[in-house]
Amino acid sequence: MTFDDFFTHATAGAKPYPYQRRFATSTKLPALLPVSTGLGKSATLVLGWLYRRREHPEEAIRQSTPRRLAYCFSELEPARDYLADLDDVGLISLAAVEHREPPIIVHTVRCKDLLELWDTTPDLSGNDLDVSRYIRDSDDNDVQFFWREFAKSPPAEPGCFPGPGREELCAVGIQQAREFVKKLKNQEAWRWDPLEREWQAMQPAVLRPGMVLLLHRDAGGYDALLGWTGDGEHKPMPRLPVHVALAQELAAMDEEEEATPVELTPHLLQVAASARRLAGCFEPLDAEVPWEALATAARWHDVGKAHPAYGNDRARRQILGLAHVSAPPTVSWLGIQVEFFGAVL
């Protein structure tokens, strides 16, 4: 029986993905299986293991496949504890075991927390408001690594050394990350300090979940096929090219501004102009970006500050005189009359 027939019969008609077929039929099991959520990891492990153990045409593969499959360690640990307390594993003893799931503790979003999500002022460390406790699972204890090539230490100029792209980041468990950084000799892990505006070398003991850390390419630890391995011999592929103009534009926008008041109308026009300057930096997707819509959104993004509740009648008159912007509508939100509600296009 082929694996395709085995898989189709077990799943009532589904066809296996190519990676599932390779897992079940290859001569050697991979050390790591990097698969996105929703692509059949459970079916791959269970059916692939069963096929290798019972139906694989090669006797050597069947014999070398482990007899036991540890499916979920989080469920095995309490089961092991229950068995350790039993004198026997008879049906009566097993039936007497009472399992209770631990309570799930999550953060409750209060009205104060919700209102603070619109707070754009930096915190004491110069970073944006931390909302990770609302969007990350309580057991999400990963840090994120990305790799670059540089000399002894990474350059501090963000224009020529921009932050990582989404495709560069690799999530690693905090304990594995600490052990990996501890083994590094001359290649430290670096973290950008927004206050000092420089890269700082991080020691293993100070790593915490949620950090984004820079590694030199020679530090290794990543394989293009297997993903994170922690093996220094596995060198990551060179990073994807970054458009220089975009990097410089983002770096200029990230520079600290002088602490001088800015009137609302010039501020809105300046942000709209900055949005237009980004046009041409996203080739070949530039034609699909609605630049005029983004510029319009930029002109509107802070209009709510012209509301009379802020005591800013002058700003309100300025806003009503802006070209291409009509009088903002009045809406009710949380019992407060607001003349404009920010929109994301």
**294-307 tens-digit pLDDT:** 888 888 888 877 77
H helices of 169-282, where? Answer: 174-183, 244-254, 264-277
pLDDT at 127 over 70: no
| Residue 334, pLDDT score | 37
Question: φ and ψ at 143, to 5 degrees?
Answer: -110, 170
Q: Name residue, tokens 């404009």.
A: 340
Q: Which long-range contacts (CB under 8 A, 24 or more apart) does 232-237 make?
A: 232/183, 236/147
Which candidate, 214, 210, 183, places its Cα nearest to that of 201? Answer: 214
- Whether the ω angle into residue 284 lies within 30 degrees of 0, i.e. cis, is yes
- What's the DSSP call for residue 308? G
Q: Point out which residues pair with 193 in neighbouring strands.
A: 198
The Cα-based distances of 10 to 26, 36, 195, 210 in angstroms read: 20, 22, 57, 40
Gyration radius of the chain over CA positions = 28
User: 26-35, 303-312, 332-341: which has the highest mean pLDDT?
Assistant: 26-35
Quote the CA–CA distance of 73 and 77 in Å, as a whole number.
Answer: 6
Quote the CA–CA distance of 327 and 11 in Å, as a whole number.
Answer: 59
Q: What is the mean pLDDT of residues 190-197?
A: 80
Q: What is the mean pLDDT of residues 163-189?
A: 85
Contacts of 311 (CB under 8 A, 6+ apart): none
| Residue 326, pLDDT score | 39
Quote the CA–CA distance of 206 and 203 in Å, as a whole number.
Answer: 6
- What's the DSSP call for residue 52? I
What is the tens place of the pLDDT at every residue in 67-94?
Answer: 887 666 666 778 888 888 888 878 888 8
Quote the CA–CA distance of 66 and 18 in Å, as a whole number.
Answer: 23
Cα 294–chain centre separation:
24
Quote the CA–CA distance of 14 and 4 in Å, as a whole number.
Answer: 9
Q: What is the mean pLDDT of residues 293-320?
A: 71
Q: Percent of the chain scored above 90 by pLDDT?
A: 10
What is the tens place of the pLDDT at every residue in 213-246?
Answer: 999 888 889 988 788 888 888 888 755 444 444 5
Q: Are strands 331-333 and 222-223 parallel, antiparallel or unpaired?
A: unpaired
* pLDDT band at residue 124 using 50, 70 and 90 as cut-offs: low
pLDDT at 212 over 50: yes
| Residue 94, pLDDT score | 83
| Residue 337, pLDDT score | 40
Neighbours of 303 (CB within 10 A): 22
